[in-house]
Amino acid sequence: MTDATLQPSSPATAKVETPFQRFRTEFFESRIASGAFVVLVIIILLAILAPWITPQNPYDLAQVDVLDGRLPPGSEAFAGYTMWLGSDGAGRDLYSAILYGLRISISVGLASGVIALLIGMAVGLIAAYVGGRTEAVIMRVVDLQLSFPASLVALMLVAALGKGVDKIILALVVAQWAYYARTVRATALVERGKEYVEAAQCLGLSKMRVVFRHILPNCLAPLIVVGTVQTASAVSLEATLSFLGVGLPQTEPSLGVLIANGFEYMLSGRYWISVFPGIALLLTVASINLVGDHLRDVLNPRLKK
């Protein structure tokens, strides 16, 4: 071949655009998604920075004064700072308690999400690539698992295991791995049938390399989408369990515990104890879900023009 056949690069495609850059441009085209993303980032930052930006450590019993209990928003605490969101029955500053609660809720959601994702991914990939009886057994277990509501599975497990952060994470992982496994298997099956996988076979590449270097990266997009949605549902599931009193202990209040604590005061007009943690939970779950929804639109090639 001579140089005459070298294809000229047209100006429109001259700059190297990685798939990530393209994805970023498309993602921030939606105002709602951008807004939700900003809210989510703020929430996460608040949660991370909680020890430095709150007046009180609600876990430190020495800092909590029962005499501060049930004060309305804007009251002054015994220690001298203003409780902008009021206080709960135990005298915890709600603003501080909410940020610390967010920390727990988000880390529980993320930890269980990541662990469930890794387990589900491995199981799903094995099912798709090995096939046959292994696949049939794995997928029937997945079906069985998915036929129970996740909250029921988690509730039974926590009831059996007892309270504690580690136990609730375990319960959430057991309740959710099947979603990831099903997603990964479905995508991997589609990808396995594509010609680039056959080409990799022709090139004599090992099975491990084909599965992890070729098939897996192409399954990530739907996995990210399921991951965000499942993390949101893990956060709300944890809140549900804590609200029901089987999740986290009173000494480590997550958002669910805070809402439950305030519930008994609702009718007596002390709305703030439940409502403010409730709003925080709503904002967190809604922003993760909105981001996840839009991720699905952007990452799903079938919806692309």
Partner 1 sequence: MTAPLVEIRDVSKRFARRLDVAGKIARKLGADIREEVVHAVDEVNLDIREGEVLGLVGESGCGKSTLGRVVAGIHAPSSGQLLFEGSDVATMSSADKRAATLAVQMIFQDPFASLNPRMRVEDIIGEAPRVHGIVSRSDVPDYVDDVMRKVGLDPSLKRRYAHQFSGGQRQRIGIARALAVKPKFLVCDEAIAALDVSIQAQVINLFMDLREEFGLTYLFISHDLSVVEHIADRVAIMYLGRIVESASTEEIFSAPRHPYTRALLAEAPRLDQRKRDFAPIEGEIPSPLAPPDGCFFNPRCPHAQELCRQKQPKLETFGEAHSVACHYWKDL
Partner 2 sequence: MTAVLEVSGLKTHFFTHAGVVKAVDGVDFTVSKGEVMGLVGESGSGKSITGFSILGLIDQPGRIVEGAIRFNGEDIANAPEAKLKAIRGNKISMIFQDPMMTLNPVLRIDTQMMEAILAHEAVPKKEAWERSRDALGLVGIPSPEERLRAYPHQLSGGMRQRVSIAIAFLNKPDLIIADEPTTALDVTIQAQIIYEAQKLTRQTGTAMIWITHDLAVVAGLADRISVMYAGRIVEQGQTDDVIDRPLHPYTVGLLGSVPTANNRGERLFQIEGMTPNMLALPEGCAFAPRCGSASAACKVPPPVEHIADRELRCYHPQAQVAAQ
Instruction: By CB under 8 A, name the binding residues for partner 2.
Output: 4-5, 7-8, 10-13, 29
Instruction: Name 83's bridge partners.
Output: 75
Grouping H, G, I as helix, E, B as strand and the rest as coil, residue 153 is helix
Contact status: 11 vs partner 1 (CB under 8 A) = no
CB of 135 within 8 A of CB of 125? no
Smaller CB separation from partner 1, 38 or 130: 130
- The crossing angle, in degrees rounded to 10, of helices 216-243 and 165-192 is 150
The radius of gyration computed from the CA coordinates of the chain, to the nearest angstrom, equals 24
- Least separation, in Å, of the C-beta of 112 and partner 2? 39
CB of 82 within 8 A of CB of 88? no
Structure token digits, residue 207: 């099975």
Contact status: 300 vs partner 1 (CB under 8 A) = no
CB of 215 within 8 A of CB of 125? yes
DSSP code for 90: T
Smaller CB separation from partner 1, 15 or 31: 15
- Least separation, in Å, of the C-beta of 133 and partner 2? 31
Near partner 1 by CB under 8 A: residue from 1, 62, 160, 267:
1
Near partner 1 by CB under 8 A: residue from 31, 80, 195, 302:
195
- Least separation, in Å, of the C-beta of 10 and partner 2? 5
Would you tell me how many other CB atoms lie within 10 Å of the CB of residue 46? 17
CB of 274 within 8 A of CB of 86? no
First to last CA, the chain: 37
- Least separation, in Å, of the C-beta of 8 and partner 1? 8
Near partner 1 by CB under 8 A: residue from 118, 199, 266, 282:
199
Q: Which among partner 2, partner 1, none contacts residue 118 (Cβ within 5 to 8 A by kind)?
A: none
Contact status: 202 vs partner 1 (CB under 8 A) = yes
- Least separation, in Å, of the C-beta of 209 and partner 1? 7
Near partner 1 by CB under 8 A: residue from 34, 151, 218, 240:
218
Near partner 1 by CB under 8 A: residue from 67, 160, 203, 267:
203
Window 122 to 141, contacts with partner 1 (CB under 8 A): 136
- Least separation, in Å, of the C-beta of 194 and partner 2? 20
Q: Which among partner 1, partner 2, none contacts residue 11 (Cβ within 5 to 8 A by kind)?
A: partner 2
Q: Which amino acid is at 175?
A: A
Smaller CB separation from partner 1, 201 or 251: 201
Contact status: 305 vs partner 1 (CB under 8 A) = no
Instruction: State the Cα–Cα distance between residues 262 and 276, nearest whole angstrom.
Output: 10
Instruction: State the Cα–Cα distance between residues 254 and 249, nearest whole angstrom.
Output: 9
CB of 182 within 8 A of CB of 215? no
Contact status: 205 vs partner 1 (CB under 8 A) = yes
Around 78, how many Cα atoms within 13 Å sit in the side-chain half-sphere?
A: 12
Q: Under the rule (CB under 8 A), what is the footprint of partner 1?
A: 1, 5-7, 9, 13, 16-19, 136, 194-196, 198-205, 209, 213-214, 217-218
